[in-house]
């Protein structure tokens, strides 16, 4: 299924049914009086999150969501049928905004959340409701109230405990393949991953946790260069970041160049990312020359903890899984 993380749709609740103008007509009963029933209420449009959906794919061509109108009132004081509400299911992590003003309407974080985005119109009252001592035979009824119509923008921000970031070809896809059940495409060229991938990591203790492989970032990403802001937003909701660096591509003369370039893009994109905890990991230690780059990097980082591994050979991968599990399911986040 194609990954779709943004959509614009129009939601329209049902109109209320009009009230009925009717008079009782029965044999041997003269002047039976008014007996028009009320119209039914229009159906609501409800947004609800579910764990069964991962994308906004269904809204790629579905642009109008409309609830059922209320039925008309009838004689003998029969109430019109209420319109059925329509429930629109969304993946958890969807931000709903007014498409015209940009105002945030609701931020869905957890599965099972419900929010009425458009309320149905109230049904009109029948002429029976307007009977008084002065007007015993009213010949009018109320029309139903119109429903609400609103154009909204849906933006999905992936919910993951851990986000793996780094330059293209740093080995993020290979790493997520060996630590989780996810199977993203891997190849020896940049931008192999064009959509975020989420994998579940199982450990000997603690709850399974979600890891997201965020597509490669490059300089200028915060301004839309490369894959740009399309996927930077997915990093905001992760609990911690694994900052993956290709040790074989480190320049000993400027060992922190990759690390600082990625952080610069994160910080320019969002203030939230300035305080996001990071676990710095050097990858591809199986490649010739990587050890020299790793030593230069570690010296430049000083007391900041740095982990080494090779996702291709799985050397050091178990240590990383242990560390991530401590952070997510224990108290290890304080040590980052």
Per-residue pLDDT tens over the stretch 233-281: 667 778 899 999 999 999 999 999 999 998 888 888 777 777 888 999 9
Domain co-membership, 40 together with 180: no
**Model pLDDT, residue 227:** 45
Q: Which of 168-182, 211-225, 245-259 has the lowest mean pLDDT?
A: 211-225
Measure the N-to-C terminal CA separation of the chain; round to a whole number of Å: 36
* 310-320 confidence digits (pLDDT tens): 999 999 999 99
Q: State what percent of residues in the chain have pLDDT above 90.
A: 54
Of 94, 124, 156, the position where a domain reaches its end is 156
Higher confidence at residue 69 or residue 6?
Answer: 69
- CATH number of the domain encompassing residue 113: 2.70.210.12
Of residues 266 and 226, more confidently modeled: 266
Q: Are residues 173 and 270 in the same domain?
A: yes
| pLDDT (0 to 100) of residue 221 | 41
Whole-angstrom distance, CA of residue 71 vs CA of residue 100:
32
Q: pLDDT tens digits, residue range 188-209?
A: 534 444 466 778 888 888 878 8
Tell me the per-residue pLDDT of 295-334, one tens digit each, with 9 for 90 and over.
999 999 999 999 999 999 999 999 999 999 998 887 666 5
In this prediction, residue 142 carries a pLDDT of: 95
CATH number of the domain that residue 196 is part of: 3.40.50.300
Residues 151 and 38 placed together within one structural domain of the fold? yes
Structural domains counted in the chain? 2
**Residues whose CB falls within 8 Å of the CB of residue 49, separated by 6 or more in sequence, listed in order:** 89, 90, 91, 92, 94, 108, 110, 111, 112, 113
Specify whether 316 is located in the same domain as 222. yes
Residue 289 pLDDT greater than 60, yes or no: yes
Q: Please check whether residues 126 and 193 belong to one and the same domain.
A: no
Q: What is the pLDDT of residue 207?
A: 79
- Model confidence, pTM: 0.64
Residue 232 sits at φ, ψ, to 5 deg, of: -60, -35
Q: What is the pLDDT of residues 67-93, one digit of tens each?
A: 999 999 999 999 999 999 999 999 888
Same domain, 324 and 206: yes
Of residues 93 and 126, the one with the higher pLDDT is 126
Q: Calculate the CA dihedral of residues 237, 5, 164, 300 and round it to 10 degrees.
A: -80
For residue 222, name the pLDDT band (cuts at 50, 70, 90). Answer: very low
Statement to judge: residues 70 and 126 lie in one domain: yes
Q: Residues 22-38: what's their mean pLDDT?
A: 84
Tokens in use for 250? 């480190």
- pLDDT above 50 (res 231): yes
94 & 180 share domain: no
If asked whether residues 2 and 76 sit together in one domain, one would say yes
Beta strand pairing call for 64-66 and 6-12: parallel
H-only helix segments in the chain: 172-179, 229-232, 257-269, 290-301, 317-329
Q: What is the mean pLDDT of the chain?
A: 86
- Per-residue pLDDT tens digits for 139-158: 999 999 999 999 999 988 76
| Whether residue 240 is found in the same domain as residue 191 | yes
Average pLDDT over residues 202-219: 76
Which domain range does residue 87 map to?
1-156
């Amino acid at each position: 299924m194609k990954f779709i993380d943004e959509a614009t749709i129009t939601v329209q609740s049902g109109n209320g049914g009009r009230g009925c103008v009717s008079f009782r007509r029965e044999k041997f009963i003269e002047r039976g009086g008014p007996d028009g029933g009320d119209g039914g209420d229009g159906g609501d449009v409800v947004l609800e999150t579910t764990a069964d959906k991962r994308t906004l794919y269904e809204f790629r061509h579905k642009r109008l969501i409309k609830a059922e109108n209320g039925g008309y009132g009838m004689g003998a004081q029969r109430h019109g049928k209420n319109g059925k509400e329509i429930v629109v299911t969304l993946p958890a992590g969807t931000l709903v905004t007014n498409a015209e003003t940009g105002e945030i309407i609701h931020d869905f974080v957890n599965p099972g959340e419900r929010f009425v985005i458009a309320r149905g119109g109230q049904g009109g009252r029948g002429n029976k409701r307007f009977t008084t001592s002065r007007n015993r035979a009213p010949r009018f009824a109320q029309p139903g109230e119109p429903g609400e119509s609103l154009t909204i923008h849906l933006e999905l921000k992936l919910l993951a405990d851990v986000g793996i970031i780094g330059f293209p070809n740093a080995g993020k896809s290979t790493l997520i393949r060996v630590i989780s059940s996810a199977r993203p495409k891997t190849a020896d060229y940049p931008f192999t991953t064009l959509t975020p991938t989420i994998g579940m990591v199982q450990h000997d203790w603690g709850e399974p946790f979600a890891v997201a492989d965020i597509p490669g970032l490059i300089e200028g990403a915060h301004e839309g260069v490369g894959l740009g802001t399309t996927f930077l937003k997915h990093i905001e909701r992760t609990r911690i970041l694994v900052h993956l660096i290709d040790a074989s591509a480190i320049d000993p003369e400027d060992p922190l160049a990759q690390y600082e370039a990625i952080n610069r893009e994160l910080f320019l994109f969002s203030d939230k990312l300035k305080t996001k905890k990071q676990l710095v990991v050097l990858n591809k230690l199986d490649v010739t020359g990587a050890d020299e780059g790793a030593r230069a990097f570690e010296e430049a980082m000083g007391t900041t903890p740095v982990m080494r591994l090779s996702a291709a050979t799985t050397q050091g991968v178990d240590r990383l899984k242990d560390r991530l599990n401590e952070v997510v399911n224990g108290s290890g986040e304080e040590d980052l």
